């Protein structure tokens, strides 16, 4: 039996996974660029962030609609802004999974 070869790690594939660039970070705020996304994700994400009572401001801008990546800005009343973003993304992922399960159950 031949030994299995380890999968090749391609730099171009790894680079594609880097979607978030922190542009500015303080203790209470973060400004980040999210590559390859648009209003579809950012509108939901800012809404989920604003559901967090510790979030003071959650907004985004897309400087040039057809050529730019959105810039997300989050300012906290208290707590870590990156943790708030992670928590909001986790909540969205859970909601999407729940929707998918209910949809599949409904069409069977």
Chain centroid to CA 108: 31
Percent of the chain clearing pLDDT 90 (strictly above): 72
Q: Kindly report the number of other CB atoms within 10 A of residue 52's CB atom.
A: 19
Inform me whether the pLDDT recorded for 8 exceeds 70.
Answer: no
Q: Phi and psi at residue 62, in whole multiples of 5°?
A: -125, 100
Domain 18-107 -> CATH class? alpha beta
Relative to beta strand 55-61, strand 71-76 is: antiparallel
Mean pLDDT in the chain?
Answer: 86
CB 19 within 8 A of CB 31: no
Angle among Cα 88, 38, 70 to the nearest 5 degrees reads 80
| Contact status, residue 45 vs residue 72, Cβ threshold 8 Å | yes
Q: What is the pLDDT of residue 108?
A: 74
Chain segment 68-91, per-residue pLDDT in tens: 899 999 999 999 999 999 999 999
* 26-55 pLDDT tens trace: 999 999 999 989 899 999 999 999 999 999
pLDDT at 72: 97
The H or E element spanning position 46 is: helix 39-50
């Amino acid at each position: 039996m031949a030994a299995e070869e380890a999968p090749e790690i391609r730099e171009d594939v790894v680079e594609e996974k880097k979607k978030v660039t922190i542009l500015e970070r303080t203790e209470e705020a973060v400004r980040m660029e999210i590559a390859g996304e648009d209003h579809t994700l950012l509108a939901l994400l800012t809404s989920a962030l604003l559901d967090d009572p510790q979030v003071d401001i959650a907004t985004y801008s897309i400087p040039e609609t057809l050529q730019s990546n959105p810039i997300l800005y989050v300012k906290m009343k208290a707590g870590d802004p990156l943790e708030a973003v992670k928590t909001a993304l986790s909540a969205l992922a859970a909601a999407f999974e729940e929707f998918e399960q209910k949809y599949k159950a409904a069409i069977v």
